Amino acid sequence: DAGVIQSPRHEVTEMGQEVTLRCKPISGHNSLFWYRQTMMRGLELLIYFNNNVPIDDSGMPEDRFSAKMPNASFSTLKIQPSEPRDSAVYFCASSFRQGVGNTIYFGEGSWLTVV
Amino acid sequence: GESVGLHLPTLSVQEGDNSIINCAYSNSASDYFIWYKQESGKGPQFIIDIRSNMDKRQGQRVTVLLNKTVKHLSLQIAATQPGDSAVYFCAENIIDSNYKLTFGKGTLLTVNP
């Protein structure tokens, strides 16, 4: 079975450039999450969608970050303009929400380096 | 504040030994816990979960124990293999936000041949 698919796997960009990360959740899942992982802060939830609607974006660092989910099979996380401190691994994850106890499945991550 | 933490940041074991990775949580309202394994360069991979109405659950070579009295969670890996080398995270599902997992910092398990 196909898991959560993310692209690009690696990206190196210059400060000030726009970065777009893409995600295809597991088919049939109705919840989608974007996480960021750094050595200093560990795994942080950035935003959560349920049925394509953003439910909680309190983890989004600032206005430079935005996320969309135009349909059930696609989501983007955009950083504009990017800064060196945005360098991290960005994970997309999905689950089928059915009350308490939702196993979240992660993609392989997008490794972002902003120079 | 409420948090999920790990007692040991690193654990080194010999191949064939049993491994025990520990996790403390502070939110008594949490009722669902998951262990994830993250290998180098990969995303977190689900290993096993447990609900708060249980105190033990077994999978293939892995066992999760939950002690609600002391708010402690552990992951036991039997006959540890080199392929088990990874960072292990416990995650906590908080009842009042049932979509949000709070992750611990992780424990690095190294299996020596």
- Residue A100 is nearest to which of B45, B89, B93, comparing CB atoms? B93
Contacts of B66 (CB under 8 A, 6+ apart): B33, B50, B52, B54, B55, B56, B72, B73
Which parts of chain A have pLDDT scores under 70? 1, 98-101
pLDDT tens sequence across B1-30? 344 543 448 999 999 999 999 999 878 888
Tell me the chain B residues in contact with residue A98 when contact means C-beta distances shorter than 8 Å.
Answer: none
B56 part of contact set with chain A, CB < 8 Å: no
Place of tokens 């504009």: A80
Q: How far is B90 from chain A (nearest CA, A)?
A: 11
**Comparing C-alpha atoms, which of B29, B38, B11, B59 is closest to residue B103?**
B38
Which parts of chain B have pLDDT scores under 70? 1-8, 94-99
Contact A100 B106 (CB under 8 A): no
Token couple for A3: 């898991």
Please state, in angstroms and as integers, the Cα–Cα distance from residue B103 to each residue in A43, B18, B36, B71, B88, following that order: 7, 24, 9, 15, 10
B51 part of contact set with chain A, CB < 8 Å: yes
Q: What is the mean pLDDT of chain B?
A: 87
Q: For residue B85, give the DSSP letter.
A: -
Phi–psi pair at A71, nearest 5 degrees = -155, 175
- Residue B44 is nearest to which of A95, A100, A106, comparing CB atoms? A106
